[in-house]
């Protein structure tokens, strides 16, 4: 044991105070006035009595209390090496190495791997170590081995990835490894640049009791220039029947150095098409707008790229766009009765609707093939047509059925979400109203907010008495309780039935403001239309099922690094996007069906560090911090050790408690 | 008896209980005392009295009214018949008003107790038609009221305003001075706590007897001074000298008691040897009992003599 402030031991001289107090305290009580001390003076016993310790217990308590307090102020510390018996036990060391893309900043990665090598070099023959690379997830590279050569070999191969930092998954993995270990000394070493963005609170990442967590921070060199493209905005326009795209990039300077004259380029199809120069203030942002480029093909790939700097991973930003594709639908009616419907569908840019009208007997297979949605607008459906429509729906098509006075459906074809009953005449008395809506459904979700469209004010003078099928979902009901709108999933497609007409013969709905959004939402929903995302972030997943309907069952995902990931028929049709760049989902003929642009998380580009103690405190329950070594492996200074151990705190409490005991004892003695 | 003095501030010291108890007693001078008025006490002179003393031969100049004619008829000689004279006496109380007297552990201080004693004795003597005087002293004489038949009220006034305050660790000086002032023989009562060595006390008090005064000594003590009934170890301060010293009563008590007892015994013995009445009064005990017992025993002694 050693002391940080041994000079405080001078205060031990204060131990004489209680002795003196003990000898004099009684005499210094309230003075008794006595007529004459003539006789008292003659008694010799007094002088002996004064110099005698009356109560050894009280004296000892006081001395101990003062000694403890002095000891506390001397700031004692127990050196770890001395405290631990030699050969106290083998160690289970888990090295968590941050390989998020921010580790590529400057020489951070080299320093990090060097620190990891140091950790492995310190292993004894009986020690075991585990190497875990972590970013947004945690990947165990080598588990519980003492083979230093293999560790070094692994460290030679690993490189920073493209993911962002998250500490919690790594700590959880480390916790599970050390929890299973039977070795007596368990340590976790976390080597990272400790970005604040990676720490979102404790999140249950608590290490088991007795495990020490040692942070090794690789930080610094913040004065080096580092720009990052944090986002893009894209505006489409049409010129000479060609869609053009105007790209605006937002560039942020994360460092304290101003950047001037830096080059930024727009690449399409891997070739630079435009260059710009930009100036960015320290900690500021700037936007650069490039000249419009023509979207020449589907899955048009583009990249905005900055010149190299200290951290290159955040210098490029990818995107994929395709020419706008309309949602095609076929309206089946009796001829020229789709005025309101076709007018409503003619409005809209994203997406555009492209509709054709057919009479029921004229609906061809080609019409069905090119249509995403078929609308049956109050028509008599034959069994044959019904079967073709069933097949169409099962393959992923959408069917919208409006049931007017003429609508029929063959009973032997089970496709509709409701059976069509007799017409209900509400021309006499109060008109029918739509009483309840399922606002949670995508079709009606836009009407959830107040003043977002009122269906209940739409009078309906006639409707068909629908009876919902078992596996159908009723989305709206008339005031009398009959279903107004019902939906059913059949195969890969959906069927939606509306209990009244889409013209003004039975209701005023086509003349109301809710009609257009209702039709648009219904068609988009039935067509399975989703807004195309120009890019996603590393760590997100690619849903391989986004492949177009009817595509080959054998699909492959081509990663930016050129790996081919086959997509199984069953099960995992989800691919985690772990690299930045372009992922391509390809079919049998090796044609790209879908291209996804993946970018790094811009949050990771912010290198603002967090105090590693915060993570250590959270992981170790806030009571203990890692001790023994500094981030670079150098033994902790005595001050740091003492701060970690905090022995003075316990000594001070013990001293104060003893003073309390002293008070109790002396009070009791004063009473007796 | 005390109602005559209701208007006098010092009358409060005349405790009715004490007075009622001693009202039928007399304080008679044990020795002959000088006086002008017939009283209870033997006078040093033969005079007009009823108590026959002796016959002596007639000498020219004798009052022929005192001739014993019966004896002349039998013996044919002239004899003068002499009677023992009775006189009133000078009665003075010498009260120690030093700081040590201002102590009391039971609600009343020794000084208050002594004042009551003084007032009661003075009242008693005054009603015997004796002359009362009063002297207060500490290190020196503080108050002096010469004996007079008219000084009862003065004595009470002085008693009332008297306050102990100064140290008085030397009895000898004031008492020796006073001894020279008492020209006529009378009764002197000394009331003190006598915190001096018995020899010194006796040395201080003895001169008071030299003129033939009858000396009565009252030694007033608080029970605490007798028993030393303290418990906590505390510093004690001498009221007289201001000296402080730590005292552990439990350890001191026995020895202290024996020292005090030896002191009292020595005083009693010393005073007894010089025919001085010595009475130790414990101020925790009723004064009436103590005084009654003293006066009663004194009367018996007088009769026996």
At A301, which CATH number? 2.60.40.10
Q: Between A and B, how many residue pairs show a Cβ–Cβ distance under 8 A?
A: 91
Q: Determine the distance in angstroms separating the CA of A31 from the nearest CA of chain B, rounded to an integer.
A: 5
Question: Measured between alpha carbons, how far is B236 from B247 in angstroms, rounded to an integer?
Answer: 6
Length of chain B: 305
Is residue A566 domain-shared with residue A664, that is, in the same domain? no
Please give the pLDDT value at position B1: 40
Is residue A276 domain-shared with residue A402, that is, in the same domain? no
A351 phi/psi in degrees, rounded to 5? -90, 170
Is residue A410 domain-shared with residue A333, that is, in the same domain? yes
Decide if A482 is inside a domain.
yes
Is residue A331 domain-shared with residue A412, that is, in the same domain? yes
Is residue A261 domain-shared with residue A248, that is, in the same domain? yes
Please give the pLDDT value at position A417: 94
Please give the pLDDT value at position B29: 46
Decide if A642 is inside a domain.
no
Contacts B100 to A, Cβ<8 Å: 35-36
Contacts B263 to A, Cβ<8 Å: 39
Whether the per-residue pLDDT at B86 is higher than 50: the answer is yes
> With an 8 Å Cβ cutoff, are B234 and A33 in contact?
no
> With an 8 Å Cβ cutoff, are A46 and B103 in contact?
no
Contacts B247 to A, Cβ<8 Å: 32, 40, 46
Burial category of A466 from C-beta neighbours within 10 Å (exposed 0-12, middle 13-18, buried 19 and up): buried
Name the residue with higher pLDDT: A383 or A309: A383
Give the ipTM: 0.77
Decide if A558 is inside a domain.
yes
> With an 8 Å Cβ cutoff, are B238 and A34 in contact?
yes
Question: Measured between alpha carbons, how far is A391 from A413 in angstroms, rounded to an integer?
Answer: 11
Question: Measured between alpha carbons, how far is B94 from B196 in angstroms, rounded to an integer?
Answer: 17
What residues form DSSP beta bridges with B305? none
Name the residue with higher pLDDT: A201 or A659: A659
Question: Which of B101, B110, B236 is facing A40, going by the closest CB pair?
Answer: B236
> With an 8 Å Cβ cutoff, are B101 and A39 in contact?
no
Minimum Cα–Cα distance from A31: chain B residue: B235
Q: pTM to 2 decimals? A: 0.50
Instruction: Give per-residue pLDDT as tens, B184-196.
Output: 778 888 999 888 8
Please give the pLDDT value at position A244: 87
Please give the pLDDT value at position A590: 67
Question: Measured between alpha carbons, how far is A55 from A62 in angstroms, rounded to an integer?
Answer: 11
- Whether B262 has its CB under 8 Å from any CB of chain A: the answer is no
The residue ranges of every structural domain in chain B are: 2-31+89-304, 41-87
A294 phi/psi in degrees, rounded to 5? -85, 135
Instruction: Give per-residue pLDDT as tens, A260-307.
Output: 888 899 998 888 888 988 888 888 888 899 999 888 888 888 999 988
Please give the pLDDT value at position A420: 92
Instruction: Give per-residue pLDDT as tens, A387-442.
Output: 999 999 999 899 999 999 989 999 899 999 999 999 999 888 888 998 888 999 99
What does each C-alpha distance from A47 to A23, A178, A483, B247 come to in angstroms? 11, 69, 110, 9
Lateral strand order in the sheet of B234-238: A32-34, B234-238, B244-247
User: Which candidate, B169, B165, B170, B215, places its Cα nearest to that of B189?
Assistant: B215
- Whether B251 has its CB under 8 Å from any CB of chain A: the answer is yes
Class of domain B2-31+89-304: alpha beta
Helical packing angle, A56-73 and A647-671, nearest 10°: 160
> With an 8 Å Cβ cutoff, are B246 and A36 in contact?
no
What domain range is A194 assigned to? 89-222+607-636
Region B91-98: mean pLDDT is 89
Instruction: Give per-residue pLDDT as tens, B56-81.
Output: 888 888 888 888 999 999 999 999 88
Question: Which of B234, B238, B248 is facing A36, going by the closest CB pair?
Answer: B238
Q: Determine the distance in angstroms separating the CA of A47 from the nearest CA of chain B, rounded to an integer.
A: 9
Please give the pLDDT value at position A568: 66
Question: Measured between alpha carbons, how far is A597 from A581 in angstroms, rounded to an integer?
Answer: 6
| CATH number of the domain bearing residue A625 | 3.40.50.410
Local structure of A378: helix, strand or coil = coil
Decide if A320 is inside a domain.
no
Instruction: Give per-residue pLDDT as tens, A522-540.
Output: 999 999 888 778 888 888 8
Please give the pLDDT value at position B51: 65
Is residue A496 domain-shared with residue A433, that is, in the same domain? yes
Q: Which two tokens stand for residue B17?
A: 């209980």
* Number of domains composing chain A: 5
Q: Determine the distance in angstroms separating the CA of B263 from the nearest CA of chain A, rounded to an integer.
A: 9
Whether the per-residue pLDDT at B36 is higher than 70: the answer is no
Minimum Cα–Cα distance from B262: chain A residue: A39
Region A554-567: mean pLDDT is 80
> With an 8 Å Cβ cutoff, are B235 and A34 in contact?
no
Instruction: Give per-residue pLDDT as tens, A317-337.
Output: 999 988 888 889 999 988 877
Instruction: Give per-residue pLDDT as tens, B113-168.
Output: 888 888 888 888 887 778 889 999 888 888 888 888 888 888 888 888 888 888 77
Question: Which of A26, A34, A45 is facing B236, going by the closest CB pair?
Answer: A34
Peptide bond before residue A351 is cis, with ω within 30 degrees of 0: yes
Within 10 angstroms of residue A199's Cβ, the number of other Cβ atoms is 20
Is residue A387 domain-shared with residue A500, that is, in the same domain? yes
Contact A496, A398 (CB under 8 A): yes
Contact A57, A665 (CB under 8 A): yes
Decide if A394 is inside a domain.
yes
Region A488-492: mean pLDDT is 91
Local structure of A460: helix, strand or coil = strand
What does each C-alpha distance from B282 to A159, A634, B14, B15 come to in angstroms? 106, 86, 18, 17
Average pLDDT, chain A: 83
Q: Determine the distance in angstroms separating the CA of A36 from the nearest CA of chain B, rounded to an integer.
A: 5
Is residue A200 domain-shared with residue A232, that is, in the same domain? no
> With an 8 Å Cβ cutoff, are B263 and A39 in contact?
yes
Local structure of A204: helix, strand or coil = coil
Contact A72, A648 (CB under 8 A): yes
User: Which candidate, A322, A305, A324, places its Cα nearest to that of A313?
Assistant: A305
Is residue A492 domain-shared with residue A568, that is, in the same domain? no
User: Which residues have a Cβ under 8 Å from the Cβ of A664 and sit 6 or more positions away?
Assistant: none
């Amino acid at each position: 044991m050693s002391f940080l402030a041994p000079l405080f031991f001078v205060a031990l001289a204060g131990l004489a105070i209680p002795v003196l107090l003990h000898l004099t305290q009684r005499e210094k009580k309230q003075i008794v006035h006595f007529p004459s001390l003539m006789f008292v003076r003659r008694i010799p016993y007094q002088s002996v009595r004064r110099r005698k310790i009356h109560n050894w217990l009280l004296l000892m308590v006081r001395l101990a209390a003062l000694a403890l307090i002095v000891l506390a102020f001397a700031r004692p510390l127990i050196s770890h090496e001395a405290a631990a018996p030699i050969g106290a036990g083998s160690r289970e060391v888990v090295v968590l190495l941050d390989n998020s893309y921010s580790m590529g900043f400057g020489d951070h990665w080299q320093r990090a791997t060097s620190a990891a090598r140091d950790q492995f070099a310190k292993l004894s023959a009986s020690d075991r170590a585990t190497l875990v690379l972590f970013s947004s997830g945690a990947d165990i590279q080598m588990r519980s081995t003492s083979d230093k050569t293999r560790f070094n070999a692994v460290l030679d191969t690993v490189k920073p990835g493209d993911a962002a930092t998250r500490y919690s998954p790594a700590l959880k993995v480390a916790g599970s490894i050390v929890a299973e270990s039977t070795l007596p000394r368990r340590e976790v070493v976390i080597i990272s640049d400790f970005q604040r963005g990676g720490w979102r609170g404790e999140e249950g990442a608590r290490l088991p009791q007795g495990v020490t967590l040692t942070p090794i921070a690789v930080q610094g060199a913040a004065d080096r220039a580092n720009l990052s493209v944090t986002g893009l905005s894209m505006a489409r326009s049409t010129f000479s029947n060609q869609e053009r795209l105007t790209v605006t990039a937002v560039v942020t300077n994360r460092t304290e150095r101003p950047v001037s004259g830096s080059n930024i380029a727009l690449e399409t199809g891997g070739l630079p098409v435009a260059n710009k120069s930009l100036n960015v203030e320290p900690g500021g942002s700037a936007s650069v707008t490039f000249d419009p480029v023509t979207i020449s093909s589907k899955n048009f790939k583009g990249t905005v790229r900055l010149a190299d700097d200290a951290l290159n991973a955040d210098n490029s930003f990818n995107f994929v766009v395709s020419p706008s594709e309309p949602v095609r639908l076929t309206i089946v009616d009796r001829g020229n009765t789709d005025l309101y419907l076709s007018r409503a569908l003619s409005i809209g840019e994203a997406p555009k609707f492209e509709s054709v009208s057919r009479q029921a007997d004229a609906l061809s297979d080609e019409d069905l093939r090119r249509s995403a949605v078929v609308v049956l607008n109050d028509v008599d459906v034959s069994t044959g047509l019904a079967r073709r429509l069933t097949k169409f729906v099962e393959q992923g098509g959408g069917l919208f059925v409006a049931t007017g006075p003429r609508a029929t459906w063959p009973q032997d074809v089970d496709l509709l979400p409701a059976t069509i009953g007799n017409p209900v005449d509400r021309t006499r008395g109060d008109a029918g109203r739509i009483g309840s809506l399922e606002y949670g459904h995508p079709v009606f979700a836009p009407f959830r907010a107040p003043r977002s469209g009122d269906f209940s004010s739409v009078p309906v003078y006639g409707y068909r008495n629908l009876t919902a099928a078992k596996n159908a979902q009723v989305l709206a009901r008339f005031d009398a309780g009959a279903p107004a709108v019902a939906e059913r999933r059949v195969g890969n497609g959906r069927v939606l039935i509306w209990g009244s007409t889409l013209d003004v013969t039975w209701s005023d709905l086509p003349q109301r403001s809710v009609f257009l959004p209702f039709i648009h939402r219904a068609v988009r929903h039935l067509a399975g239309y989703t807004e195309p995302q120009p890019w996603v972030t590393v760590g997100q997943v690619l849903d391989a099922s986004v492949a177009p309907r009817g595509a080959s069952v054998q699909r492959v995902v081509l990663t930016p690094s050129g790996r081919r990931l086959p997509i199984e028929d069953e099960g995992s049709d989800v691919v985690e996007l772990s690299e930045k760049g372009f992922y391509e989902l390809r079919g049998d003929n090796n044609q790209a069906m879908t291209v996804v642009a993946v970018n790094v998380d811009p949050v990771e580009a912010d290198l603002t560090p967090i105090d590693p103690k915060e993570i250590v405190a959270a992981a170790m329950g806030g009571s203990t911090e890692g001790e023994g070594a500094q981030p670079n492996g150098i033994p902790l200074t005595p001050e740091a050790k003492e701060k970690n151990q905090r022995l003075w705190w316990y000594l001070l409490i013990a001293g104060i408690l003893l003073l309390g005991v002293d008070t109790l004892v002396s009070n009791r003695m004063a009473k007796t | 008896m005390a109602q005559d003095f209701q208007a006098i501030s010092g009358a409060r010291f005349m405790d009715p209980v004490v007075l009622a108890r001693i009202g039928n007693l007399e304080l008679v001078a044990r020795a002959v005392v000088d006086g002008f008025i017939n009283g209870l006490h033997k006078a040093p002179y033969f005079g007009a009295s009823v108590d026959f003393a002796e016959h002596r031969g007639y000498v020219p100049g004798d009052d022929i009214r005192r001739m014993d004619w019966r004896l002349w008829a039998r013996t044919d000689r002239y004899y003068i018949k002499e009677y023992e004279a009775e006189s009133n006496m000078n009665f003075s109380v010498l009260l120690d008003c030093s700081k040590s007297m201002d102590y009391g552990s039971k609600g009343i201080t020794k000084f208050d107790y002594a004042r009551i004693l003084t007032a009661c004795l003075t009242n008693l003597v005054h009603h015997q038609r004796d002359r009362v005087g009063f002297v207060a002293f500490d290190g020196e004489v503080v108050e002096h009221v010469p004996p007079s038949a008219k000084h009862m009220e003065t004595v009470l006034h002085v008693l009332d305003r008297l306050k102990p305050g100064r140290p008085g660790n030397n009895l000898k000086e004031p008492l020796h001075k006073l001894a020279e002032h008492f020209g006529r023989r009378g009764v002197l009562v000394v009331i003190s706590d006598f915190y001096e060595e018995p020899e010194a006390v006796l040395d201080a008090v003895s001169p008071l007897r030299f003129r033939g005064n009858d000396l009565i000594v009252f030694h007033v003590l608080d029970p605490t001074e007798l028993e030393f009934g303290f418990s906590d170890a505390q510093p004690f301060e001498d009221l007289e000298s201001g000296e402080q010293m730590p005292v552990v009563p439990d350890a001191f008590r026995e020895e202290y008691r024996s020292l005090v007892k030896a002191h009292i015994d020595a005083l009693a013995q010393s005073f007894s040897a010089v025919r001085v009445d010595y009475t130790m009064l414990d101020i925790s005990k009723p004064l009436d009992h103590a005084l009654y017992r003293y006066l009663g025993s004194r009367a018996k002694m007088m009769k026996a003599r």
